[in-house]
């Protein structure tokens, strides 16, 4: 790009305009300001790709699928790998500004100037053969300033053009963890993994996810079909397990709410360890995040964090900022434990469940504690310490007897006896730290009111289990 054109960009972006007006021209890489500037940096048919993208989104298509349509047009005339890498880079540029309005709203107009300058500098460096400089430009934008999957994806494409496969994979992984429903990310990572040769199963998983996210679009799915057929998942790769919900917890402005799910039905789960046990593939693993967000992957690939402990992390953007979550599988525990954590605006929620091979009995039968009819699994223990958390509905009540009169409220305590089952509740006799003795309800239905001191999401097992 010429120095004169760069000066025009800087002057144009520096002109004072309302935030809405600034965001409008750069809402996507196909916006009124963005398209001509980006198209001027490539010989690919960027304008036609943008037309296909905008027509698709105007008809209600998802950003990811419409981006794949644009990519198909961009790479149609390519005859070598470098051209296809360039086509993917410009497909990424089409959507890299799609979340910009949120960050402009919260962080100010300078975010738009920073992102725009980084993207244009990255494209210019890529076209000049400065692939390291291009990657540095795309990575120059802090995730705190602007979190978007197409920035690390673009950096990954620059590294791939430079022949730095490991760096490219790291960036593609970061892109998927930032937004897990972008088909282009799975396409690019799947191709790199397939080329390596020793990651055939992981490549097949990526192409299956690519098919998942393009299944409702005839044009994109037709393009994807050949990759799925060329890289099928081995039917013997996965082993059948079962997932058993235990507890879900939410923490927000109203206090902490812990729900017993130990009576809920199990569901089939498929697991496979591969790549020298460094990765864990899981189908139908997610519970909480599947309920919260659409398009969660059918198959997850979790990276080993330590021996027999695997994790999958996600990030997302909403009107209040950037949040995230994680899924952790601990195969070193007996029974195997899975926890999901989801951080949202002013709240945190997570869930825990245990998993076991499909031919083994429900591991929740080995949990210590008893079930009062209609109540949650008792987690308190005689002689142990416990506490109650105050909520917006007020503190937990202490009674002089079961179904008796209120004598005070519960804070921290020592358990004296119980549980006594009465009217779908579990009652415990407790002594508060000030010496007051009384009775308190552990749970109302499946919602806990009293907590053991450790407050672990997974209850302990029975002695000798």
**Are 92 and 119 a contacting pair, CB within 8 Å?**
no
- What pLDDT, on a 0 to 100 scale, did the predictor assign at position 395? 73
Distance CA 458, CA 461 (A): 9
- The matching CATH number, chosen from 3.40.50.300, 3.40.50.2300, 1.25.40.10, 2.40.50.150, for 3-230 is 1.25.40.10
Lookup result for tokens 């953007």? 317
Write the pLDDT tens digit of every residue in 426-448.
999 999 999 999 999 998 888 89
Phi/psi at 31 (nearest 5 deg)?
A: -70, 170
pLDDT tens digits, one per residue of 225-276: 999 999 998 888 899 999 999 998 887 766 778 899 988 899 899 999 988 8
Q: 428 and 377 in contact (C-beta within 8 Å)?
A: no
Kindly write down the DSSP assignment for every residue of 340-396, as one continuous string: EEEEETTEEEEEEEEEEETTS--GGGGBSS-BPTTSPBP---TT-EEEE--BTTBPP
pLDDT of res. 318: 65
State residue 392's pLDDT score.
52
**Cα 72 to Cα 380: distance, rounded to the nearest angstrom:** 59
Place 413 in a pLDDT band, splitting at 50, 70 and 90. very high
CA distance linking residue 228 with residue 205, whole number of Å: 9
Nearest to 418 by CA among 426, 428, 410: 428
CB-facing half-sphere around the CA of 174: CA atoms within 13 A: 19
Whether 416 and 395 have beta carbons less than 8 Å apart is answered as: no
What's the rounded mean pLDDT across residues 352-363? 94
Do 111 and 104 touch, CB atoms closer than 8 A?
yes
Region of 19 on the Ramachandran plot (φ > 0 left; ψ -120 to 50 alpha; else beta):
alpha
CA distance 134 to 146: 18
User: Who has greater pLDDT, 104 or 207?
Assistant: 207
Please name which of 385, 384, 407, 404 lies closest in space to residue 395, comparing C-alpha atoms.
Answer: 407
Among 83-92, 157-166, 280-289, 376-385, the least confident range: 280-289
Q: Could you give the CA distance from residue 183 to residue 297 in angstroms, rounded to a whole number?
A: 11
At residue 294, the pLDDT reads 54
The correct CATH number of 239-365 out of 3.90.550, 1.20.950, 2.40.128, 2.30.29 is: 2.40.128
Query: How far apart are alpha carbons 353 and 386 in whole angstroms?
Result: 23
Instruction: State residue 12's pLDDT score.
Output: 40
pLDDT one-digit tens code per residue, 110-161: 889 999 999 999 999 999 999 999 999 999 999 888 999 999 999 999 999 9
Of residues 20 and 58, more confidence is placed in 58
Mean pLDDT value of segment 457-465? 77
Neighbours of 355 (CB within 10 A): 22
Sign of CA dihedral 342, 343, 344, 346: positive
Task: Provide, rounded to the nearest whole percent, the portion of the chain with pLDDT above 90.
Answer: 59
Q: How many CB atoms lie within 10 A of CB 55?
A: 12
CA neighbor of 212 nearest in space, from 221, 204, 223: 221
The domain limits of the chain are: 3-230, 239-365, 367-465
Query: 6 pLDDT exceeds 70?
Result: no
Q: Strand, coil or helix: what is 449?
A: coil
Top-confidence residue, 61 or 19: 61
Of 412, 183, 158, the residue nearest 297 (C-alpha): 183
Residues contacting residue 287 through CB under 8 Å, at least 6 positions apart: 243, 245, 340, 351, 353
Q: What is the mean pLDDT of the chain?
A: 87
pLDDT of residue 288: 56
Helix (H, G, I), strand (E, B) or coil at 338: strand
Q: What is the 3-state secondary structure (H, E, C) of 223-264?
A: HHHHHHHHCCCCCCCCEEEEEEEEEEEEEECCEEEEEECCCC
pLDDT at 2: 42
User: Rounded to whole angstroms, how far apart are CA atoms 278 and 303?
Assistant: 6
Q: How far apart are CA 266 and CA 282, in angstroms?
A: 16
Neighbours of 11 (CB within 10 A): 9
**For residue 295, is it left (φ>0), alpha (ψ between -120 and 50) or beta?**
left
């Amino acid at each position: 790009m010429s120095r004169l054109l760069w000066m025009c960009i800087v002057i144009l972006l520096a002109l004072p305009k309302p935030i809405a007006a600034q965001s409008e021209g750069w809402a996507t890489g196909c916006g009124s300001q963005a398209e001509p500037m980006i198209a001027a940096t490539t010989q690919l048919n960027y304008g036609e790709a943008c037309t296909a993208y905008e027509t698709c989104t105007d008809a209600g298509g998802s950003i990811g699928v419409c981006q794949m349509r644009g990519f198909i047009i961009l790479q149609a005339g390519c005859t070598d790998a470098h051209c296809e890498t360039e086509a993917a880079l410009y497909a990424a540029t089409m959507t890299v500004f799609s979340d910009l309005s949120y960050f402009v709203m919260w962080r100010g107009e300078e975010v738009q100037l920073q992102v725009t300058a980084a993207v244009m500098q990255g494209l210019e460096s890529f076209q000049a053969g400065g692939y390291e400089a291009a990657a540095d430009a795309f990575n120059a934008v802090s995730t705190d300033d602007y979190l978007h999957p197409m920035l690390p994806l673009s950096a990954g494409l620059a590294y791939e053009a430079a022949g730095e496969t490991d760096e490219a994979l790291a960036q593609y992984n970061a892109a998927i963890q930032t937004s897990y429903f972008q088909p282009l990310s799975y396409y690019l990572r799947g191709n790199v993994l397939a080329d390596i040769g020793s990651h055939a199963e992981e490549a097949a998983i990526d192409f299956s996810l690519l098919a998942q996210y393009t299944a409702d679009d005839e044009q994109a799915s037709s393009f994807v079909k050949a990759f799925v057929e060329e890289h099928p998942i081995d039917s013997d790769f996965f082993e059948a397990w079962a997932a058993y919900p235990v507890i879900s917890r939410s923490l927000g402005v109203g206090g902490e709410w812990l729900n017993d799910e130990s009576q809920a039905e199990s569901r089939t789960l498929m697991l496979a360890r591969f790549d020298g046990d460094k990765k864990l593939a899981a189908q139908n693993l997610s519970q909480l995040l599947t309920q919260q967000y659409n398009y969660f992957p059918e198959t997850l690939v979790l990276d080993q964090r330590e021996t027999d402990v695997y994790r999958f992390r996600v990030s997302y953007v909403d009107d209040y900022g950037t949040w995230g979550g994680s899924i952790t599988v601990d195969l070193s525990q007996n029974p195997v434990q899975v926890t999901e954590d989801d951080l949202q605006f002013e709240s945190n929620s997570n869930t825990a469940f245990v998993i076991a091979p499909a031919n083994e009995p429900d591991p929740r039968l080995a949990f210590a504690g008893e079930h009062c009819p209609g109540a949650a699994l008792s987690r308190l223990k005689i002689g142990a310490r416990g506490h109650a958390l105050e909520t917006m509905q007020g503190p937990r009540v202490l009674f002089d007897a079961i179904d008796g009169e209120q004598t005070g409220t519960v804070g921290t305590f020592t358990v004296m006896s119980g549980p006594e089952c009465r009217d779908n509740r579990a009652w415990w006799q407790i002594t508060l730290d000030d010496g007051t003795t009384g009775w308190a309800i552990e749970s109302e239905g499946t919602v806990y009111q009293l907590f053991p001191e450790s407050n672990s999401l997974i209850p302990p097992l029975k002695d000798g289990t």
